[in-house]
Structure 1
Amino acid sequence: MAILSLQGASKSFGALKVTDDVSFDLAPGEALGIIGPNGAGKSTLFNLITGNLRPDAGRVMLDERDITAETPMQRCASGIGRSFQIPQPFDHLTVYENLLVAARFGGGLSGAAAPAVCMDILQRTGLSALADRKAGGLPLLNRKRLELARALATRPRVILLDEIAGGLTDAECVDLVATIRAIHAEGTAIIWIEHVLHALTSVVTRLIALNFGRVLMSGTPEEVMASPQVQEIYLGIEA
């Protein structure tokens, strides 16, 4: 049984069709990567999954339940968490306070349970030493870590990562990928949009390539990256 499914999802903005009849299943605990050139519809796809956008056609299913009409808050409470390509913490709050807000309002935790979960996530994401630091003053790597930590604080069963490795140095990328691998090993299903391919393919077991809002190809990372169509469209290599 799939934990998450998109069934014929389509979305247009005026005459521009940004998501065109996209369907796929995500198995429990699977790590799925999504690639494609800029403008391929990747972020729109995430917004359809999280409820920030409603599809013009098609359905979003969670545990075989239709959640297409549910709000982002309802979907978060049901177990869909996400990070954003541009980190969006509450800058005036500390790192710990950012997690506490996510745990209480996204994860539905109260009393002593919320602080305990937050302290555990701080440890797992390498942010313990920065717990009392204001989020607005963090460098990029730690803002990315905080995006991941806030998503985890909502207690997701599926976590959506939107170009979380973008803008990092190689060493920072290795660090962050190790954290993502550990999260996946604990059983959390992942859908990851990424342009840093070596980071993505070191974690995911399946890739979907998008182009002009449509699924171009789906398969193992090796199969997809060996496709002449994918190489031409995504990597600029002439087929």
Structure 2
Amino acid sequence: MTMLALNNVSKSFGALTVTDDASFDVPEGQALGIIGPNGAGKSTLFNLITGNLRSDSGSICFQGRDVTRVSAMQRCLTGIGRSFQIPQPFEKLTVFENLLVAATHGRNQSEPEVRDACADVLERTGMLRRANTPAGQLSLLERKRLELARAMATAPKLLLLDEIAGGLTEGECQSLIATIRDIHTQGVTIIWIEHVLHALTSVVERLLVLDFGKVIGIGAPDEIMASRAVQEIYLGIDV
């Protein structure tokens, strides 16, 4: 089954085209990595998928349903969850309270109904021991884990990760990769934007490359990274 399908999706801001006729699909249960230089349109693509931005043309289908004109909240309720590049939790709330906020809104359920699910998410993301800690006291790795946990608290079928490994040490990165891999092996479909290539390639089955908003390649990670066009555009190598 196809979890997500984009067909000829484009988005411009004035004369600047940030998404240029993008078409690709993500099968259910797959992990897709997205790479590209700064300004390639990666985060804009996420905003189009989640409904934070409306496309100018083309269509976006989620589990066979056209959601191109569906609101961001409705997309979340149907199973599209995301993390953001810069974590911005409610710093005066505890870790557990942050998850309760995400879960009650993202699942449209009451607080008592989501408590057990939030506790389970905290355990899956390695944050159970920090459940009663105010979010403002967390380390960078813990803030990244909380960002992941808040996305998971909405019960996503499709999880979008936006540079979640950025700024971490190698050891911290490996720890987070293990958590993401575990989430993926439990059946969650993932699309992951990341500059830390070894993090991506240790989890994803396919890589998609963006350049100036245009998809220039999609396929197995080894094939994509061996591509002359990718090496010239993304790695800056004069092949």
The question of a shared fold, defined as TM-score above 0.5 by the shorter chain, is answered with yes
Quote the Cα distance in structure 2 between the aligned partners of 1:226 and 1:25.
Answer: 22
1:63 aligns with 2:41: no
User: Residue 235 of structure 1 aligns with which residue?
Assistant: 235
Name the counterpart of 1:177: 177
1:159 corresponds in structure 2 to 159
Q: Secondary structure at the match of 1:3?
A: strand
How many residues are treated as equivalent by the alignment? Answer: 239
Q: Distance in 2 between matches of 1:64 and 1:127?
A: 34
What does residue 200 of structure 1 align with? 200
Cα distance between partner residues in 2 of 1:235 and 1:214: 17
Do 2:104 and 2:111's aligned partners in 1 also have CA atoms closer than 8 Å?
no
Contact preservation (8 Å) 1:41, 1:210: yes
The alignment's C-alpha RMSD in Å is 0.9
- TM-score normalized by structure 2? 0.98
Q: What is the TM-score when the length of structure 1 is the normalising length?
A: 0.98
Instruction: Give the corresponding residue for 2:222.
Output: 222
Residues in 2 aligned to 1:55 and 1:224: alpha-carbon distance in whole angstroms: 27
Equivalent position amino acid for 1:118 in 2 = C
Partner of 2:43: 43
1:108, 1:154 within 8 Å by CA — same for their partners in 2?
Answer: no
Alignment of 1:1-239 (within 5 A): 1-110=1-110, 112-239=112-239
CA distance in 2, matches of 1:17, 1:196: 26
In 2, the alpha carbon distance for the partners of 1:202 and 1:118 equals: 27
* Matched letter for residue 108 of structure 2: G
CA distances 1:103-129 after superposition (whole Å, capped 9, x unpaired): 111022335431101111111111111
**Structure 1: 4+ residue segments shifted above 3 A:** none
Between the aligned partners of 2:203 and 2:92, the Cα distance in structure 1 is 33
